[in-house]
Amino acid sequence: AQTVTQSQPEMSVQEAETVTLSCTYDTSESNYYLFWYKQPPSRQMILVIRQEAYKQQNATENRFSVNFQKAAKSFSLKISDSQLGDTAMYFCAFMKHSGGGADGLTFGKGTHLIIQP
């Protein structure tokens, strides 16, 4: 079984600052995917960024980037130039590669990020 740990229940930063959310995971799988999902106060969960474990290069999506350290089983999310709209719950999630079938996501407990004006 997999576990995902987010050690920061809540973080608060000023608008335009850079913030890093931490995530560690434990698995015996060699082939898997990692995700960061965002859940704004409206509650619709949306994907922020994803990383395939076989890729060495860290994923980047505009102001969002990850620091993927496979050996350390660490997957942190960096948000640059933070904006008020980034205020949300952020969940780190793990999914093993099931080779053509289906598998659910294993989520961390979430980090509540508050961007202050």
Binding site for another protein (CB under 8 A): 4, 6, 9, 33, 35, 37, 42-47, 50, 52, 54, 91, 95, 97-98, 100-110
* Shortest spacing between CB 95 and another protein, in angstroms: 7
Long-range contacts of 56-59 (CB under 8 A, 24+ apart): none
| One-letter-per-residue 3-state SS of 42-90 | CCCCEEEEEEECCCCCCCEECCEEEEEECCCCEEEEEECCCCHHHCEEE
The answer to whether 23 and 76 have CB atoms below 8 angstroms apart is yes
Q: Which is nearer to another protein, 26 or 52 (CB)?
A: 52
Which of residues 63 and 109 has its CB atom nearest to another protein in the complex?
109
Smallest distance, Å, CB 15 to another protein?
Answer: 26
Q: How near is the Cβ of 5 to another protein at its closest, in Å? A: 10
Residue 75 tokens read as 């997957």
Residue among 28 and 44 whose Cβ is closer to another protein: 44
